[in-house]
Amino acid sequence: MDEEYDVIVLGTGLTECILSGIMSVNGKKVLHMDRNPYYGGESSSITPLEELYKRFQLLEGPPETMGRGRDWNVDLIPKFLMANGQLVKMLLYTEVTRYLDFKVVEGSFVYKGGKIYKVPSTETEALASNLMGMFEKRRFRKFLVFVANFDENDAKTFEGVDPQSTSMREVYRKFDLGQDVIDFTGHALALYRTDDYLDQPCLETINRIKLYSESLARYGKSPYLYPLYGLGELPQGFARLSAIYGGTYMLNKPVDDIIMENGKVVGVKSEGEVARCKQLICDPSYIPDRVRKAGQVIRIICILSHPIKNTNDANSCQIIIPQNQVNRKSDIYVCMISYAHNVAAQGKYIAIASTTVETAEPEKEVEPALELLEPIDQKFVAISDLYEPIDDGSESQVFCSCSYDATTHFETTCNDIKDIYKRMAGSAFDFENMKRKQNDVFGEADQ
């Protein structure tokens, strides 16, 4: 371990593992350590089921009706992948897809007036949906066509909208869309967590809706994918990638000290030895004095013996409860997966409700979601602090990731990864460049 590395990474959460993989592919010498004996840090999958009960101090353990403990892989932080999103691109470009199998999530639903409805995302679905009246459907269809044809480099597609200055609120007004439609467009298609986006330039929102539609177009049922055996497979895939390129991994390795000289990181001390480095990547738990608390997330893991009502018996789905529908500032999310993804015993379903905490009684805040899941066999309640780094790392060369937020997809995590990469490398993350490096190692030219 007494060696010099370009980059040392502490923690094997998804953000850290992806960055470690990218740095290794870019020819950096990487040492990756984790104080835990397992991969994934905050974002790990827990198996067997007995381990989950222990983790939440439920000492009686699971009843026999839960089936075999080792049939379970329960994600502590549930998220889906957008089929055309940034994480899937990272997986494809780095060829981590070799190690993983994905299934399409069967449906995306939105909550309105106490009921759930399938999110209409194609013209045909929009016209058949019960979410809107007949005239509203026509206006919504016009809006979808406008978004699909919109090209920020071609002014002919703008229809009088300026992508840099027209706000999204004005675009909705232009198409005369009502509040319910605005709710599900902003929260279930563009996947915003609050309504702050309404007064910002519309380009970002239009691109988000395009991403949703393009992701949906790839597989048809929903725009989301989920890996068999749970999200714990993702960090391990990137860890393998890093190892192929000469990265060194050490689990179960305590971190005693991060060594600084003149305000700049020079190494990490563990069990009496020092590994030297030029740059350090870590999650907030390794540098508590360099992060600030930015809020809390509540996640309730629920084990069910039935699919969620009104979802056509889907064995996986996402439900978004827009904040307006339940008088909140931030949305409530439900992700449901099941035995079909090799994460639960036969006939069992795992639904996880999550939201950003706004009051002193977080459990009450997710009640609208829990009501949709009844009856619930067992609940596991986790309230986590959200941390963010207090500086950008340019002086110390210590680059810290942000905690995983309440959203049920990885787009915000990918933004954090690209942001850290840019601060470390001094240039934006370039997928194409990465692909070329890949070919050098495997000797595969583009056919």
Query: In which band, very low, low, confident or very high, does the pLDDT at 25 lie, cut at 50, 70 and 90?
Result: confident
Same domain membership, residue 414 and residue 346? no
Q: Do 71 and 30 lie in a common domain?
A: no
Distance, CA of 65 to CA of 163 (rounded, Å): 55
273 shares its domain with 299: no
Provide the residue range defining the domain that includes 402: 4-42+232-292+389-442
CATH number for the domain spanning 144: value is 1.10.405.10
Residue 175 CA to residue 203 CA, distance in Å, equals 16
**Is the model's pLDDT at 283 over the cut of 80?**
yes
Considering the domain architecture, whether residues 61 and 166 belong to the same structural domain is answered as no
Q: Does the residue 68 lie in any domain?
A: yes
160 and 193 belong to one structural domain: yes
Tell whether 334 is covered by a domain. Answer: yes
225 in any annotated domain: no
Check residues 437 and 101 and name the one with the higher pLDDT. 101
Question: What is d(CA 380, CA 58) in angstroms, rounded to the nearest whole number?
Answer: 9
Question: 328: domain CATH number?
Answer: 3.30.519.10
Which of these three, 386, 407, 430, is where a domain ends? 386
Say yes or no to pLDDT of 4 above 60.
yes
Neighbouring C-beta atoms of residue 154, cutoff 10 Å:
9
Quick one: 264 and 412 in the same domain? yes
- As a whole number of angstroms, the distance between CA 190 and CA 192 comes to 6
Residue 303 inside a domain? The answer is: yes
Task: Based on the fold, state whether residues 13 and 59 are members of the same structural domain.
Answer: no
β-bridge pairing 224-227 and 81-82: antiparallel
* Spatial distance between the Cα atoms of 156 and 150, rounded to a whole number of angstroms: 9
Question: What is the distance between the alpha carbons of residues 46 and 304, in angstroms, rounded to a whole number?
Answer: 17
Q: State the chain's mean pLDDT as an integer.
A: 91
The 10s digit of each residue's pLDDT in 131-177 is 888 888 889 989 999 999 999 999 999 999 999 999 999 999 999 99
Phi, psi of 330 (to 5 degrees): -125, 155
Query: Are 146 and 288 contained in the same domain?
Result: no
What does the alpha-carbon distance between residue 111 and residue 44 come to, in Å, rounded to a whole number?
29
255 touches 270 (CB < 8 A): yes
Do residues 375 and 400 share a domain? no
pTM of the model: 0.89
The confidence score (pLDDT) of residue 198 equals: 96
The verdict on residue 31 lying in a domain is yes
Average pLDDT over residues 75-99: 86
Which of 189, 219, 249 lies at the terminal end of a domain, its last residue?
219
Structure tokens at 103: 């299934």
Q: With respect to residue 69, please indicate whether it lies within any of the assigned structural domains.
A: yes
Q: Per the domain annotation, does 114 fall within a domain?
A: no
Tell me, what's the pLDDT at 219? 81
Q: Of 123 and 20, which is predicted with more confidence?
A: 20
One domain, residues 266 and 328: no
Peptide bond into 375 cis (omega under 30): yes
DSSP three-state, residue 94: coil
One domain, residues 285 and 433: yes
Domain count, the chain: 3
Choose the final residue of a domain: 157, 188, 219. 219
357 in any annotated domain: yes
For residues 393 and 270, membership in a common domain is answered with yes
CATH of the domain at 26: 3.50.50.60
